[in-house]
Amino acid sequence: MERLPLADVTRAEFAQQTTYLNTATCGVLPQRALAAVRELAGAAAAGRPEGFGSFDSVTAARTAFARLVGVPAARVAVGSAVATHTGLIAASLPAGAEVLFAEGDFASVINPFHLRGDLKTRFAPLESLAEAVRPTTALVALSAVQSADGRIADLDAVRGAAAAHGARTLVDATQAAGWLPFDASRYDYTVTAGYKWLLGARGASYLTVGEEAQPGLVPLHAGWVAAASMWDATYGPMRELAHDARRFDESPAFLAYHAAERSLELLASVGVEAVHAHNTRLAARCRAGLESLGHAPVPAPGSAIVSVPGLGHRQAELAAAGILTAARAGHLRASFHLYNTEAEVDRLLDALSA
C-alpha cells in the first residue's frame, strides 16, 4: 500500500476541539469512521436492510488488524472487550495452574484469572518478570505497554523465559498496537481493545490465538457467528465450529466494526512506523520539557505515554483549560498520537509551569 504523509491524513481526518493528550484512555474517532457510523445508524433508523450491519466490515476489520500485528486473519477472533477474551483464556486453564503477572498491570489482564479462585497467581516487577518465570508457571500474562505509566515490557526476554520453562504467553497489546510495531505471531495469545490507539469505538476488540494454542481453548461463548457456516447455524445445536480462530468470535457490535474498518484503513495508509516516529518524538519533547520544569517522569524510554508522579491532582485543572490528560495511579498521564502536534505539547508544558 502506498503510504500517505501523516500530516495530510491528520489534517483531513481529525477535528478535535481540545488539546487532546489522552489516547491511552480513548482515541479520537477519524472523520471517515464517524461517517461510517452515521451511515449505519441512519440506515437502521430508516428501517433499511443495510442498517442490520455488514459482516463484510467485520471481515475487513479482522483482516486489517491481522495485517497490522503480523498474523494471518485466520488467527484473529473478534469481540467486544479485552476482559471477555482473557476470561476465555482463563477458563481454559486447569485448576491449580500458575499464572504470572506484572505488578500493577491492567485489571482486565488479571481479574479473569484471579476471580476463578482455583488458580495460583503470582506477581513480579515488570522489569524482572522474565526472571520470575519458573518450571511450574503455566502462563505469563502482561501488557506490552503499561497503562498506568507507559513502561514498555521486555517482551523478548519474557517470551524466551516462557519458552524455556514450557509456559504459554498472553500479551495485552491495547496500549501498543497502532503506534508501536508489534508482532502478535510471537505469542500464544494476544488481546487488544480497538478504541484507543486503533482509533475505533468501544465494542471492537481482537484476540489472536497461535495454532498450537487453539485446540486447548474451548469457545464457551460460541454463538451462531462461530459456526463454520453461520447462516446454517442460527437454530439448534452447533453442528460444526469454524475451523480457525473465528470459532472464538463474539457476535459483533456492528457500529463499532463499521468504524474499525475505516480507522484501521487510515492507520494502514500512514504506516505504524511513521506513527511511531511521530508519537515518540512528541513524547520525548514532553519529557524534556517536564524535566526542565523540575519534574521527573516515570522512566519509559521510547514510549508514547508520559506519566508524572505527584501531578495527578492537576488533571481536572488542565481539563478545565481544554487540555485533556488522565490521572492514573496518582500520576498525571499524557499520551501522544498521530493527531497531536508540538504546539500541543508546549501548551501542556506552559500550563504546568503556571
- Quote the distance between the C-alpha of residue 44 and its chain's center: 29
Cell of 175: 496500549
Sign of torsion, CA 58 192 156 136? negative
Q: Of 3, 23, 32, which is closest to residue 268 (Cα–Cα)?
A: 3
What's the mean pLDDT in 327-352?
Answer: 97
| Residue 8: band (very low, low, confident or very high) from pLDDT cuts 50, 70, 90 | very high
Q: What is the pLDDT of residues 75-110, one digit of tens each?
A: 999 999 999 999 999 999 999 999 999 999 999 999
The pLDDT value given to residue 105: 98
DSSP 227: B
What is the predicted pLDDT for the residue at 254?
98
SS3 24: coil
pLDDT score, position 2: 75
Find out whether 271 and 9 touch, Cβ atoms under 8 Å. Answer: no
Answer whether residue 112 shows pLDDT above 80.
yes
Q: Is the pLDDT of residue 19 over 90?
A: yes
pTM: 0.97
Average pLDDT over residues 201-217: 96
Those residues with Cβ within 8 angstroms of residue 160's Cβ, 6 or more apart along the chain or in another chain: 130
Q: Name the strand (E) or helix (H) holding 306.
A: strand 305-309
The set of cell numbers assigned to 299 is 522512566
What one-character DSSP code corresponds to residue 22?
B
- Where does the pLDDT of residue 232 fall: very low under 50, low under 70, confident under 90, or very high at 90 and above? very high
> pLDDT tens digits, residue range 167-178?
999 999 999 999
Measured between alpha carbons, how far is 193 from 201 in angstroms, rounded to an integer? 9
Spatial neighbors of 106 by CB under 8 A, at least 6 apart, are 143, 146, 147, 148, 172, 174
Axis-axis angle for helices 272-292, 6-13 (nearest 10): 80
Helix (H, G, I), strand (E, B) or coil at 171: strand
pLDDT of 53 strictly over 80: yes
Q: Is the pLDDT of residue 1 over 90?
A: no
* Per-residue pLDDT band at 289 (split at 50, 70, 90): very high
* Cα–Cα distance, 295 to 5 (Å, whole number): 34
pLDDT 10s digits, 323-335? 999 999 999 999 9
Cα 90 to Cα 26: distance, rounded to the nearest angstrom? 26
In a 3-state reduction of DSSP, which class is residue 305?
strand
On whether the CB atoms of residues 211 and 184 are closer than 8 A, the answer is no
Q: List, in order of start, the domains of the chain with CATH numbers.
A: 6-29+271-353 (3.90.1150.10), 49-268 (3.40.640.10)
292: pLDDT strictly greater than 80: yes
Q: How confident is the model at residue 276 (pLDDT cuts 50, 70, 90)?
A: very high
- For residues 157, 268, 173 and 13, what is the CA-based torsion angle, rounded to 10 degrees? 140
* pLDDT confidence bin for 154, thresholds 50/70/90: very high
Spatial CB neighbours of 284, under 8 Å, sequence gap ≥ 6: none
User: What is the mean pLDDT of the segment spanning 34-41?
Assistant: 98
- 3-state secondary structure string across 122-133: EEECHHHHHHHC
Tens of pLDDT, residue by residue over 239-263, are 999 999 999 999 999 999 999 999 9
Range 41-46 average pLDDT: 98
Report whether pLDDT(11) > 90: yes
- pLDDT beyond 90 at 354: no
Structure-derived torsion over alpha carbons of residues 265, 271, 277, 283, reported in degrees to the nearest 10: 20
User: Which of the four pLDDT bands, split at 50, 70 and 90, describes residue 302?
Assistant: very high
In percent, the amount of the chain with pLDDT more than 70 equals 100
Strands of 168-172's sheet in order across: 76-79, 205-209, 189-193, 168-172, 137-143, 98-102, 120-124
Exposed, middle or buried, 2 (CB in 10 Å: 0-12/13-18/19+)? exposed
